[in-house]
Amino acid sequence: MKKIIFALVLAAILVAPAHAAIKVAVSDITPQPVNVGSDFTLGVDYTNTGSDYLYNVPASVDLRYPFKLKTSTENFTGGFDLCGLCSRNNNYFISVDSSSSSGTYPIFIRTGSDSVTTINVIVQGKPNVVLFPEPVTNATPTGEFLLNVDAANIGSGTAKQVKIISKATNFVSIGPSVAVVDSIDANTSKRVVFHMAPDENLIAGAYNIPFELNYLDENGAVVNSTQNIGVRIVNYGELNVQSIKVAATSGAPTAGQPLTVIIRLENIGRGDANAVQAQITCDGVTARSFLGQLKRDEDAPAVFDITLPNGGKHQCTMTAKYMDDLGDHVFTSDFDVTVKNPDLPFGLILIVIIIGGVYFYRKRRHHKK
């Protein structure tokens, strides 16, 4: 019994320091640096620096994000045996998560509860810069607009010295046509703004503005790409008063009698003016007229029938409402209408003259008496 106990104690003494006698060394990391989403091989040498034979040496590879073990040439799950001053090699085949970013990540090789060897692996991502513009909704052939663009790096590495260059032919850059950003980290974006003006000869419709992107990846290699940004050009209507005419059936406009105000409206804009309706107000008297659509360079009369109760000069305002590609609009114009007081009937005038004559005749006779 004593011999058995002695043998067990001796074995424990021999095994206890054995793990500390194991030297761990990296024999190979291929490739290095390793690209995001790819695989690499980690070669590890385990060396018994002592002269004693070691049994059941525990050895494990501790992998954390972004690494995952695919397989290995040796299975050290239950430990391994190693003679004195001998070495064993194990190649670990490891994959890198495709969603990871550039950086230096550790791998831990454990050969016992207290023995840990740290191996640093450089992971290198690839940048991929994509342009995401804000929609442009009010660009017209004769107007300017701001094109706000987010340059987003949807890749896994940092993009450096980013240049975004406008290559438009139908759009002129007011100011620089090149936007420069020092760097864009993975999964981040930087905003750039282009001040643009369309060619005045453009017609309404959808257009593509080409942009060229140049930047450096983490190895200093140049990356070139092109991308189109869509812009919709819209037209606008613009009303103007061509002429104003006032007429009455009785000849001259007269108070208390119907008169007609004819306002000829013209569309001097580059697009259609739709749902055109107009209203005039003259000292509280209101009339309305509906014209419908006025195409570019088209004109039409808005006819208003009103009756003004009093003679004299009346201040009037015309208000026209219409719609175009940009939305709803209101156009106003002020003008004056002069009407005369009504003429007295001839018979009434004759009676007034006779009465006046009789009155003065009697007054004169009375004075002579």
- Fold designation for 129-233: Immunoglobulin-like (2.60.40)
pLDDT digits (tens, 9 = 90+) for 317-360: 999 999 998 899 999 999 999 999 986 554 444 554 566 555 55
pLDDT of 275 reads 96
Distance CA 157, CA 150 (A): 18
pLDDT of 358 reads 53
pLDDT digits (tens, 9 = 90+) for 178-215: 999 999 999 999 999 999 999 888 888 889 999 999 99
| pLDDT band, very low/low/confident/very high, at 141 (cuts 50, 70, 90) | confident
* pLDDT-above-70 percentage for the chain: 87
pLDDT of 4 reads 39
So where are the chain's domains?
A: 2-124, 129-233, 239-339
Read off the pTM: 0.65
pLDDT of 13 reads 39
Do the domains 2-124 and 239-339 sit in the same CATH topology, yes or no? yes
Look up the CATH number of domain 239-339.
2.60.40.10
Look at residue 161 and tell me whether its pLDDT is greater than 70: yes
Look up the CATH superfamily of 2-124.
ntegrin, alpha v. Chain A, domain 3 (2.60.40.1510)
pLDDT of 368 reads 56
